[in-house]
Structure 1
């Protein structure tokens, strides 16, 4: 008997196996690789398949004789050590001058990646690790949670500050962690080649560890979650010290920082669930930690479904800065990530429920359709679920809605191209996804990522491109779009 695994390939299930469905689906070493119809490239392997394990042979065949592997290795090792010592002594005796070869210069993309990741180091709150590598930052806000008698959660040290202020908003921060995890899941080899894999994983873990503090992560059911620490509302002439009234270094903050809890915040909880679920895939090799993240994600998503409501409703402080327009897109997004993290089809059923997709705006256009942001994750969920259809094709009862998401993803990719009038472009070619409103670059980088990753999905599925109406466009067009969003703008 075989059950489908969310990463690809059937997974053998024994009737007497006492492991849970989640444990079976998360074991990346139990794939029947022969069931895969074609070789998978790095994009697919980085997520779907673990590295192949090969058994070591006990003997070495030298052609004329077969010798013990231990004897062979010992002999070769002795010769190598002897040769090394002889060469080393010769170098000393002859005092051969050493020639220093200049290292190849780091390319601009790698430099940009390193600087972008260092932003998170600079935004860290709490007791900083020694390797934080930002000389002008120190420990800060070590009393978060403890100074607010109204909150149940007392240890809220850690996490990331939002931007120029020192507020910790869980809603945009969890979206940032989800996107970072997605990039690592797909492109870990490229992060490693740039020497940044351990760095970005450390950034994700710092965020995930903080999220686990903001609710009872050991429980199966919760009734509250922390939405933010600190406030920034200065309207009404208030002179009460807060993170916008007092502009200072976080290390110098000595005023009380209120904690905002919510009891019905489906959007926030589902996004935090997505962050923990995606991080659990990043840390799948650390089984205990990965399972801890999955448990937290499950608890949050259950809370999101049981206690309906927007976290920023009712004129809260969050509504001034990160107002959420809906929670239905987070249901699709969070459900998709939980399915990938657990293999539990109940999450896939929820993510592909037509009614939820309708409420999320999947079946109507509008000026912001296809724009991925911290508020609207629908476009990201559509690409994520298109991946499922391209690589695994789960069939009935999911095929119809997955095909719809796939078609909608194609339409979104068409809307990014300059030949279509969906969005304006600056003279330098920068797409204006927010229609001239402030802070355009956050939407641009999200669109560039979706275009790049979707083009890689198509290539991995042996699909050379996609149609925009009667016209066919190659995947290179999407890569060109993603590339042009990072330079030559004015």
Structure 2
């Protein structure tokens, strides 16, 4: 028996070496690191359980000038601004991952729920005043002009607000979606009281978003544009928020809202059926609601299933109608930008749809080609594996995973010495030498996933090139669910 086992191990190693890119990934380790990353992005008073110990308390006076407590939440990327629009999307995606795959997360479930709660607690603060949603904290232009630790912030912590007279439907509706999805996650895993609080607030915030329609581009554009301008309109967020509220509450008024407004917003929705990310929720709406059609709990006459099929046909390599490209190494390339936010968000949708199809007779037809559930799972695994190191460079794009990963990421806290290393205040421009240095970052932001390689699979590992070397919460958030799924699958 022992001789047979050794033979199998030798064969496995030989196959891995001869193929060059066949790597057995530890999805459980990658999952743990991805969840840990969110601790590195925390703003506010850090708890005693903080595991990334080089990060310390920061931005403890946020909202004070407005007479409100806006401490907490996440810095979205490598800067020190709290952009609530992409933060809410990241929260929705983490919560969706917990809802779908929480039972397979093992010990990481507790940490994943903590990561969701860190932002839902913040959003409860940001929406506590009726008729007002706090949409952002921090002056982005001043912040981006500095290279400074979050613990040293001395740039203006400007608070940007949307209200009845200055609406921001996209940011309000995405926060409603995050709170509703969060309520489902906490209801499923034991905190039903908190789940009710989140659902009630989600309903109130959605009502505000819908009643006072308008884009935050027009209300607070100087704060959000061009960084997180809403380019796709706010209609998709209204449908997305209502969809999550229906699933969380089972109230028909939300289902009726979605089905009616899929007609009213048809031009806006059909113009971006294949898009999904912090700005565009179009494909996500259709995949999310396709589950209700596939399990026969809602009428088949709705367009969600056909729209979801069209999305899949635009994406998978075997489809004759695909509209995306792939790098030579197999990474999804969308809109001419090799950015891993597309690979993770779209892969999450593909895997979710594959699982919804598992017990259904429904077939995806891309012209005369049938795309199977097995193909969808395989596509998703290829994208995840690429990110983890199955690529021409053998480079993991997740910091701390594997032996070869980015060391000079575009991230202020990671690239500057920690308070333990340098207790004195680092002023706005005093961090510039660290930014320009060729040295590796002194603090490992474990689990951070950077923007990714060039379209030819090359990667410079250059801190100055933010588009490639900067990690974001919305790149990492979909990976929580993806990695939980493949962790469970690889253990069978």
Aligned match of 2:373: 475
Match of 2:146 among 246, 250, 253: 246
Give the 3-state SS of the residue equivalent to 2:269 in structure 1. Answer: coil
Native 8 Å contact 1:313 1:319 kept in 2: no
Match of 2:228 among 313, 318, 322: 322
Give the 3-state SS of the residue equivalent to 1:158 in structure 2. Answer: coil
Native 8 Å contact 2:143 2:155 kept in 1: no
2:241 matched to 1:341?
A: no
Show the 5 A alignment for 1:15-26: none
Aligned counterparts of 2:155 and 2:68: Cα–Cα separation in 1: 17
Q: What do residues 167-189 of structure 1 show as CA deviations (whole Å, max 9, x unaligned)?
A: 00000000000011111101111
Native 8 Å contact 2:82 2:136 kept in 1: yes
Aligned counterparts of 2:268 and 2:362: Cα–Cα separation in 1: 30
Q: Which has the larger radius of gyration?
A: 1
Aligned counterparts of 1:389 and 1:369: Cα–Cα separation in 2: 18
2:88 matched to 1:174?
A: yes
Aligned match of 1:205: 117
Aligned counterparts of 2:209 and 2:174: Cα–Cα separation in 1: 9
Aligned counterparts of 2:83 and 2:264: Cα–Cα separation in 1: 26
C-alpha deviation, 1:369, in angstroms: 3.6
Q: What do residues 299-324 of structure 1 show as CA deviations (whole Å, max 9, x unaligned)?
A: 11010011111112253220120111
Aligned match of 1:375: 279
Match of 1:141 among 59, 66, 76: 59
Match of 1:313 among 218, 234, 237: 218
C-alpha deviation, 1:359, in angstroms: 4.2
Q: What do residues 121-164 of structure 1 show as CA deviations (whole Å, max 9, x unaligned)?
A: 00001110111200210111111111x2xx3x520110001111
Native 8 Å contact 2:294 2:360 kept in 1: no
Aligned match of 2:314: 415
Taking structure 1 as the reference length, the TM-score comes to 0.70
Native 8 Å contact 1:370 1:378 kept in 2: yes
Aligned counterparts of 1:359 and 1:313: Cα–Cα separation in 2: 21
> Alignment RMSD, CA only?
1.7
Aligned counterparts of 1:342 and 1:306: Cα–Cα separation in 2: 20
Q: What do residues 364-421 of structure 1 show as CA deviations (whole Å, max 9, x unaligned)?
A: 4xxx5412111000100100110111124323xxx422xx210111111111122334
Aligned counterparts of 1:463 and 1:352: Cα–Cα separation in 2: 24
Q: How many residues align?
A: 355
C-alpha deviation, 1:464, in angstroms: 7.4
* Mean CA deviation greater in 106-115 or 246-255: 106-115
Q: What do residues 421-462 of structure 1 show as CA deviations (whole Å, max 9, x unaligned)?
A: 4111111111112x223x611011111111111111111x24
C-alpha deviation, 1:191, in angstroms: 1.1
Aligned match of 2:180: 277
2:68 matched to 1:154?
A: yes
Aligned counterparts of 2:87 and 2:32: Cα–Cα separation in 1: 19
C-alpha deviation, 1:231, in angstroms: 1.2
Give the 3-state SS of the residue equivalent to 2:140 in structure 1. Answer: coil
Q: What do residues 20-48 of structure 1 show as CA deviations (whole Å, max 9, x unaligned)?
A: xxxxxxxxxxxxxxxxxxxxxxxxxxxxx
Aligned match of 1:110: 28
Aligned match of 2:98: 184
Native 8 Å contact 2:177 2:240 kept in 1: yes
Structure 1 regions of 5+ residues with no counterpart?
1-105, 234-241
Give the 3-state SS of the residue equivalent to 1:165 in structure 2. Answer: coil
Match of 1:262 among 152, 162, 172: 162
Native 8 Å contact 1:127 1:139 kept in 2: yes
Aligned counterparts of 1:462 and 1:348: Cα–Cα separation in 2: 22
Match of 1:232 among 140, 143, 151: 140
Native 8 Å contact 1:452 1:479 kept in 2: yes
Q: What do residues 187-216 of structure 1 show as CA deviations (whole Å, max 9, x unaligned)?
A: 111112xx2100000000110000000122
Give the 3-state SS of the residue equivalent to 1:400 in structure 2. Answer: coil
Aligned counterparts of 1:288 and 1:110: Cα–Cα separation in 2: 30
C-alpha deviation, 1:357, in angstroms: 4.0
Aligned counterparts of 1:465 and 1:213: Cα–Cα separation in 2: 45
Give the 3-state SS of the residue equivalent to 1:247 in structure 2. Answer: coil
Taking structure 2 as the reference length, the TM-score comes to 0.69
Aligned match of 2:191: 286
Aligned counterparts of 1:356 and 1:136: Cα–Cα separation in 2: 50
Native 8 Å contact 1:141 1:251 kept in 2: yes
2:367 matched to 1:449?
A: no
2:330 matched to 1:429?
A: yes
Give the 3-state SS of the residue equivalent to 1:316 in structure 2. Answer: helix
